[in-house]
Amino acid sequence: MSGCKRGAGAESALCRRKPPRLILLDAGALLAYLILAIAFTRPLWATLTDGIIGRIGDNIYFIWLVGWFKKAYFSLGVDPMNVWFLNYPAGWSLASTEIAPAQLAIAVPFALLGGETFGYNAALLISFALSGWFCYHWVASLTGSRRAGFLSGVIFACLPYRQAHFLAGHLNLSGTQWLPLFFWGWFEILRADRADGRAALWPALLAALGLGLTALCSQYYAFMLIFLSGSLMILTLVLRDRKRFRSAAFWKTLAAFVVFSLPLLIVAEAPFLTLNASGALPDRDLSAVRQYSASVSDFFLPATTHFAWGGRVGSIFRRDLWIESTLYLGVAALALFFVGLTLRRRPGGERTRWLWFLLSAGVLLSALLAMGTDLHWNERPVELPLPSALAERLGRGSLPLLLPGYFLFRFVPFYAKIRATMRFGLFTGLFVAVGAGLGAARLLGRTRRRYGTALFLGLILICVLDFYPKSFPERAEIAPRPVDLWLAGEAGEGAVMRLPFALNDDQAATYATLIHGKPFVGGFFNAFPTAQYRKIRPVMETFPSMEALQLAKELGVGYFILERDDALPEAERAAVQVATGERAEALGLIRLYQDADVIVMGFQEDE
């Protein structure tokens, strides 16, 4: 531990023993962030065990993941990555979509206590609280002010970005708590230089832990983190500290970071890299990526969920993509950021100029990357009109104003796997939150002691009100359908198929497998349907044709769940009527179950 005595920054902060009073302060800060989490997600606290806030969507897929991992590990004793009962009989790899094992590690213990819905909701609240808490520790170590650190944590934890993805049910994207740990260590790596030429191991370990755990939350965040941090390192070496190229300590620390990162990165990335090598993770289409380019306005518009301004923002500006485009940075946070940026040149600011270089570069770079392939405003491309002669020659009346993201999409490996480049805006929010904490530290340090507490509480209140959402009225109960309970009691081992066939690519139907325990021909394939699914879909869409019925037998289907929904297209309603009506016997089908929502048909037993 001798290195702890000589270290600085992250190293000394982590190695230093804390007196009991500071431990209590840190515990109180964590409790305060948890209270904020409950307030910002209200009324989630009232429905923790049996429901979610928002509509059924991606949330129920993650609830299924929590339940499946619990069942696989504690009931079946099998590898949860091998989901043999989905995409039946071919099976399915979870690597084809987000798994978020670090989030599941938080959720599953709570699921053992109160079920998978409770585990999912608990993980959301804990991720919120830890995001603020780790940011608090980072900024407190930079400024020596726990008050400034707490304010930074409030800003980062309460970002409207988190509120939007909370409502969308994105458990993976809610796993932002490890980002402050990574940048805490990474910024120290870019700063630290030892005269003795030894590696700074604590920053390397901290950054590696942050990167690995982030990769175990979201592949989006992992790629973005690596790309951003590498870019910041290059900017630092080229624009600010070229002599670092000759620093033995820097390269040793960087090597230590790589070595420390590998174990968790291999665990996180191996399934995806294997799947990508097989061609099962194709590049995104440019037109799909383009629409998820952030508008400049996105960073300055309050969220449509805001308790005071949300309705007005939604009525004036286009917010069709509000889940991804909610990137509001906060007026108060930006003001504090610029206060700190301005005061860095005043006496006492010399020590943080290196940090302001990294934060400013991080804000500009992450915002530029969030803006995607070309310039947008109000969710619409900003295009340059062409002279008529040139327009006639090119066959178009205008040209988009291309941004670096377009060329990164074209030429950088794996960049074309990213659909929503808007998510780079999360990093903009983190850097602004840290800068706001630095600005607050300078203000609090220049304020007389008797007014310091009032200023601190006032800043907290302003930042909270700047982001505070209205109560979310929409709630969905997570409960089995009657048909799933009936299926659970059936002794047959046949697979389940939903009709119309498009309903087999569905989160709720995937969740239902936890209830009935039967194999399911479908799954939640998102943008990457399996080879089997693509192959059988054209045939199964002709159901109840003899060809479709024969293929269903070959797939081992024992239960056809036909939806009784008047909203279905006429052709699909007609198919349901044929399969369940007078021709059912001639088709070899028999009615097994029915309720107000569905009819279940099966094959007649051979005599």
Write the DSSP symbol of residue 73: I
Task: Name the least confident of 185-199, 208-222, 257-271.
Answer: 185-199
Confidence at residue 391, expressed as pLDDT on a 0 to 100 scale: 77
Res. 238: pLDDT tops 70: yes
Res. 1: pLDDT tops 60: no
SS3 109: helix
Q: Which comes out higher in pLDDT, residue 1 or 30?
A: 30
- The model's confidence at residue 112, banded by pLDDT at 50, 70 and 90, is very high
- Going by C-alpha positions, the residue among 133, 40, 32 that lies closest to residue 467 is 40
Res. 3: pLDDT tops 50: no
The whole-angstrom separation of Cα 92 and Cα 95 is 9
| Segment 444-448 mean pLDDT | 80
Confidence at residue 15, expressed as pLDDT on a 0 to 100 scale: 56
Res. 557: pLDDT tops 60: yes
Summary mean pLDDT of the chain:
88
Confidence at residue 339, expressed as pLDDT on a 0 to 100 scale: 93
Cite the DSSP H helix spans in 16-55: 20-40
> Residue 463 corresponds to which tokens in the numbers above?
């930042």
| Segment 362-387 mean pLDDT | 93
| Segment 446-474 mean pLDDT | 89
What residue spans define the domains of the chain?
282-446, 482-603
- What are 206-230's pLDDT values in tens digits? 999 999 999 999 989 999 999 999 9
| Segment 47-56 mean pLDDT | 91
Confidence at residue 281, expressed as pLDDT on a 0 to 100 scale: 73
Confidence at residue 276, expressed as pLDDT on a 0 to 100 scale: 76
Res. 67: pLDDT tops 70: yes
Q: Which backbone phi and psi does 6 adopt, to 5 degrees?
A: -90, -15
Confidence at residue 151, expressed as pLDDT on a 0 to 100 scale: 97
Q: At what angle do helices 179-191 and 248-277 cross, to 10 degrees?
A: 140
**How are beta strands 398-400 and 383-385 bridged, if at all?**
antiparallel
Task: Name the least confident of 25-39, 137-151, 240-254.
Answer: 240-254
- What are 164-179's pLDDT values in tens digits? 999 999 999 999 999 9
Q: Tell if the pTM clears 0.85, that is, is over it.
A: yes
Give 589's strand partners. Answer: 603
Q: How far is CA 574 from CA 269, 499, 542, 548, 550, in A?
A: 46, 12, 11, 16, 20
* Residue type present at position 582: E
- What are 531-546's pLDDT values in tens digits? 899 999 999 988 888 9
Res. 260: pLDDT tops 80: yes
Confidence at residue 585, expressed as pLDDT on a 0 to 100 scale: 80
| Segment 277-288 mean pLDDT | 80
- What are 113-133's pLDDT values in tens digits? 999 999 999 999 999 999 999
Inter-residue contact 510 to 496 (CB < 8 Å): no
Query: What distance, in Å, lies between the first and last C-alpha atoms of the chain?
Result: 78
Inter-residue contact 96 to 281 (CB < 8 Å): yes
Q: Which comes out higher in pLDDT, residue 393 or 309?
A: 309
What proportion of the chain, given as a percentage, has pLDDT over 70? 92
Res. 159: pLDDT tops 80: yes
| Segment 63-73 mean pLDDT | 95
| Segment 491-513 mean pLDDT | 89
- The model's confidence at residue 6, banded by pLDDT at 50, 70 and 90, is very low
Task: Name the least confident of 7-16, 200-209, 281-290.
Answer: 7-16
Confidence at residue 158, expressed as pLDDT on a 0 to 100 scale: 97
| Segment 86-95 mean pLDDT | 87
Q: Which backbone phi and psi does 505 adopt, to 5 degrees?
A: -100, 85
Q: Which backbone phi and psi does 519 adopt, to 5 degrees?
A: -60, 155
Confidence at residue 186, expressed as pLDDT on a 0 to 100 scale: 96
Confidence at residue 350, expressed as pLDDT on a 0 to 100 scale: 58
> Residue 17 corresponds to which tokens in the numbers above?
């023993």
Beta strand spans in 429-529 (E): 475-477, 495-499
Res. 483: pLDDT tops 60: yes
Q: Which comes out higher in pLDDT, residue 80 or 582?
A: 80
Report the C-alpha dihedral over residues 373, 375, 381, 385, rounded to 10 degrees: -110
Res. 194: pLDDT tops 60: no
Res. 446: pLDDT tops 60: yes
Res. 567: pLDDT tops 60: no
Q: How many CA atoms lie within 13 A of 51 on its CB side?
A: 15
The whole-angstrom separation of Cα 279 and Cα 295 is 32
> Residue 227 corresponds to which tokens in the numbers above?
């790309």
Res. 584: pLDDT tops 90: no
The whole-angstrom separation of Cα 470 and Cα 468 is 7
Inter-residue contact 500 to 509 (CB < 8 Å): no
The whole-angstrom separation of Cα 491 and Cα 488 is 8
| Segment 503-523 mean pLDDT | 91
Confidence at residue 568, expressed as pLDDT on a 0 to 100 scale: 65
- The model's confidence at residue 573, banded by pLDDT at 50, 70 and 90, is low
Confidence at residue 197, expressed as pLDDT on a 0 to 100 scale: 61
Res. 8: pLDDT tops 50: no
Write the DSSP symbol of residue 383: E
Inter-residue contact 122 to 37 (CB < 8 Å): no
- The model's confidence at residue 387, banded by pLDDT at 50, 70 and 90, is confident
> Residue 318 corresponds to which tokens in the numbers above?
């286009």
